[in-house]
A and B are shown apart, each in its own frame.
Chain A
């Protein structure tokens, strides 16, 4: 094994603490874009609340609510928490905990027959 100096060429400059590539914008979003994202999240929340006051079929209502919830969740995680622009290791750490939680508790609820409608 050589102890000759190793050269790492053509590597973009690395951000001081979080591994972001410096391109003039730390996370690829401006303050104005953050405001637009927040406005979109507010609209989605308003849509969720509006759905509860409408007489919709149960399955359609639940599907819409879950889709909106998932969209809001991923928007905050990817944009405000910068996972979209950050190193993938952070995404793995967070989503592995989240996915583990979903599976563990889905299994736990299944053992209590939570997903079986009463009387069936």
Chain B
């Protein structure tokens, strides 16, 4: 907890100054830090986790731009069927459910990792990757169907903005699957160095972010008629 970080001003004590209680205050890397036994950071929090949250905050801006562009151009579908004629809501609903369930299996993997249960961690991570692959497969099927119906990337502004938005999301899911499978391979080969639970949680944060972006896309793109 950041509240427990003790800030001192002006003069810093010598390194390794003995202190009482569970928490040691040290002068490290040019600032004050709480020694929690694992990290020496000025906030007492994991820098990796801070960086991941900052990255996810910046990703909001990326997807915000793509969603706004789609909203602006979804009516510009000259030369192709309209979005309402193209979208297959039952298929997209099922793939949304699959992605939602992958968030559940991901959080179960994080929970298993925190219990140091490698077997269940690997199993849940693999199930998450498989569910993610199912989602990507449904997206490829949808894209193929749209192209057969006459909507390509360069057909009109609707097509360009739709494929860019959902394609970017699909790429994020694919990157997530690659990270998950790499993690499973590392855990199974016991080649893991560092805090395993933290790495699983960081990849989990990325995966859940991909899920919340889809929650927004599903509503704004598929469920609200143009």
Residues on A close to B: CB < 8 A?
1, 3, 5-9, 11-19, 21, 26, 31, 34-35, 37-38, 41-42, 45, 48-49, 51-52, 62, 65-66, 68-69, 72-73, 76-77, 80-81, 87-90, 93-98, 100-102, 104-105, 108-109, 112, 114
Contacts and interface: CB of A to CB of B under 8 A. Distances in A.
Contacts of B68: 105, 108-109
A93 B64 contact: no
Interface string B89-102: 10001001100110
Interface size class of B (residues with CB under 8 A): 35 or more
Contact of A80 (B22, B44, B45, B106): B106
Contact of B64 (A14, A81, A105): A105
Interface of B: 1-2, 4, 6, 8-11, 13-14, 17-23, 25, 34, 36-39, 43-46, 48-50, 53-54, 56-61, 63-65, 67-68, 71-72, 89, 93, 96-97, 100-101, 103-104, 106-108, 111, 114, 195, 197-198, 201, 204-205, 208-209, 211-212, 215-216, 218-220, 223-224
B30 to A, nearest CB: 17
A42 B97 contact: yes
